[in-house]
Amino acid sequence: MSGKVVMVIDDEKIVCDMAKIALRKEGYEVETFVDLVLAVERLKGRSFDLVITDLKMKGIDGMEVLRTIKEKYPATKVIMITAFAHLSAAIEAFRGEVSDFFPKPIKLKELVAAVKRAVGDEA
Protein backbone atom coordinates (compact mmCIF):
# COMPACT_ATOMS: atom_id res chain seq x y z
CA MET A 1 0.00 0.00 0.00
CA SER A 2 1.18 3.49 -0.88
CA GLY A 3 0.08 5.37 2.22
CA LYS A 4 -0.07 8.58 0.17
CA VAL A 5 -3.13 10.81 0.47
CA VAL A 6 -4.78 12.28 -2.65
CA MET A 7 -7.54 14.88 -2.97
CA VAL A 8 -9.66 15.01 -6.13
CA ILE A 9 -11.63 18.20 -6.87
CA ASP A 10 -14.04 18.20 -9.80
CA ASP A 11 -17.58 19.53 -10.18
CA GLU A 12 -18.45 16.33 -12.07
CA LYS A 13 -19.12 13.62 -9.47
CA ILE A 14 -18.44 10.85 -12.00
CA VAL A 15 -14.87 12.11 -12.47
CA CYS A 16 -14.33 12.08 -8.70
CA ASP A 17 -15.82 8.61 -8.35
CA MET A 18 -13.81 7.07 -11.19
CA ALA A 19 -10.54 8.59 -9.98
CA LYS A 20 -11.26 7.44 -6.42
CA ILE A 21 -11.88 3.84 -7.50
CA ALA A 22 -8.76 3.70 -9.69
CA LEU A 23 -6.46 5.29 -7.11
CA ARG A 24 -7.74 3.25 -4.18
CA LYS A 25 -6.97 0.08 -6.17
CA GLU A 26 -3.36 1.31 -6.21
CA GLY A 27 -3.29 1.80 -2.44
CA TYR A 28 -3.86 5.54 -2.23
CA GLU A 29 -6.13 7.11 0.36
CA VAL A 30 -8.49 9.34 -1.62
CA GLU A 31 -10.88 12.13 -0.64
CA THR A 32 -13.12 13.67 -3.30
CA PHE A 33 -14.88 17.01 -3.45
CA VAL A 34 -17.38 18.48 -5.89
CA ASP A 35 -17.53 21.64 -3.78
CA LEU A 36 -14.35 23.71 -3.87
CA VAL A 37 -15.15 25.59 -0.67
CA LEU A 38 -15.33 22.29 1.23
CA ALA A 39 -12.12 21.12 -0.43
CA VAL A 40 -10.22 24.25 0.64
CA GLU A 41 -11.55 23.86 4.19
CA ARG A 42 -10.34 20.25 4.22
CA LEU A 43 -6.89 21.33 3.05
CA LYS A 44 -6.63 23.48 6.17
CA GLY A 45 -7.13 20.46 8.40
CA ARG A 46 -5.17 17.73 6.62
CA SER A 47 -1.98 17.27 4.70
CA PHE A 48 -2.34 15.88 1.17
CA ASP A 49 0.51 14.53 -0.93
CA LEU A 50 -1.31 15.37 -4.16
CA VAL A 51 -4.34 17.34 -5.33
CA ILE A 52 -6.01 16.56 -8.66
CA THR A 53 -8.17 19.51 -9.66
CA ASP A 54 -10.30 20.54 -12.59
CA LEU A 55 -9.25 23.72 -14.38
CA LYS A 56 -12.77 25.05 -14.99
CA MET A 57 -15.47 24.59 -12.38
CA LYS A 58 -18.68 26.47 -11.83
CA GLY A 59 -17.67 29.92 -10.65
CA ILE A 60 -14.09 28.90 -9.85
CA ASP A 61 -10.87 29.05 -11.81
CA GLY A 62 -8.61 26.05 -11.31
CA MET A 63 -5.57 28.32 -11.64
CA GLU A 64 -6.77 30.09 -8.50
CA VAL A 65 -6.92 26.70 -6.78
CA LEU A 66 -3.39 25.94 -7.97
CA ARG A 67 -2.04 29.27 -6.70
CA THR A 68 -3.70 28.77 -3.31
CA ILE A 69 -2.31 25.26 -2.91
CA LYS A 70 1.20 26.24 -3.96
CA GLU A 71 1.17 29.32 -1.71
CA LYS A 72 -0.17 27.61 1.42
CA TYR A 73 1.01 24.03 0.87
CA PRO A 74 4.13 24.20 -1.33
CA ALA A 75 5.05 20.52 -0.82
CA THR A 76 1.68 19.36 -2.19
CA LYS A 77 1.86 18.20 -5.80
CA VAL A 78 -0.93 19.19 -8.21
CA ILE A 79 -2.31 17.51 -11.33
CA MET A 80 -4.66 19.62 -13.45
CA ILE A 81 -7.49 18.15 -15.54
CA THR A 82 -9.78 19.96 -17.94
CA ALA A 83 -12.33 19.64 -20.69
CA PHE A 84 -10.88 22.88 -22.10
CA ALA A 85 -7.39 21.71 -23.02
CA HIS A 86 -5.94 24.77 -24.72
CA LEU A 87 -2.20 25.15 -25.09
CA SER A 88 -2.26 28.49 -23.27
CA ALA A 89 -3.99 26.88 -20.27
CA ALA A 90 -1.43 24.08 -20.17
CA ILE A 91 1.47 26.54 -20.33
CA GLU A 92 -0.01 28.64 -17.53
CA ALA A 93 -0.60 25.52 -15.43
CA PHE A 94 3.00 24.33 -15.83
CA ARG A 95 4.27 27.79 -14.94
CA GLY A 96 2.16 27.39 -11.81
CA GLU A 97 4.08 24.21 -11.04
CA VAL A 98 1.61 21.47 -11.86
CA SER A 99 3.04 17.97 -12.01
CA ASP A 100 0.89 17.03 -15.00
CA PHE A 101 -2.00 18.26 -17.15
CA PHE A 102 -4.73 16.04 -18.65
CA PRO A 103 -7.58 16.73 -21.06
CA LYS A 104 -10.97 15.17 -20.40
CA PRO A 105 -12.09 12.51 -20.89
CA ILE A 106 -9.40 11.20 -18.58
CA LYS A 107 -7.71 7.90 -19.28
CA LEU A 108 -7.53 6.40 -15.81
CA LYS A 109 -4.44 4.30 -16.54
CA GLU A 110 -2.56 7.46 -17.56
CA LEU A 111 -3.85 9.37 -14.53
CA VAL A 112 -2.71 6.62 -12.16
CA ALA A 113 0.74 6.63 -13.80
CA ALA A 114 0.93 10.43 -13.42
CA VAL A 115 -0.05 10.19 -9.75
CA LYS A 116 2.69 7.61 -9.16
CA ARG A 117 5.26 9.87 -10.86
CA ALA A 118 4.14 12.94 -8.93
CA VAL A 119 4.35 11.34 -5.48
CA GLY A 120 7.44 9.25 -6.19
CA ASP A 121 5.75 5.83 -6.27
CA GLU A 122 7.13 4.79 -9.65
CA ALA A 123 8.63 1.35 -9.76
**Is the distance from CB of 31 to CB of 5 less than 8 angstroms?**
yes
Question: Which is higher by pLDDT, 58 or 4?
Answer: 4
Say what the pTM is: 0.87
72-to-17, 76, 100, 110 alpha-carbon distances in Å: 26, 9, 20, 28
Q: Is the pLDDT of residue 4 over 70?
A: yes
Q: pLDDT tens digits, residue range 20-70?
A: 999 999 999 999 999 888 888 898 888 899 999 988 777 666 777 788 888
Q: pLDDT tens digits, residue range 98-121?
A: 788 888 888 999 999 999 999 988
Using a 10 angstrom Cβ sphere, with 0-12 exposed, 13-18 middle and 19 or more buried, the burial of residue 70 is middle
What is the second-level CATH architecture of the domain 5-119? 3-Layer(aba) Sandwich (3.40)
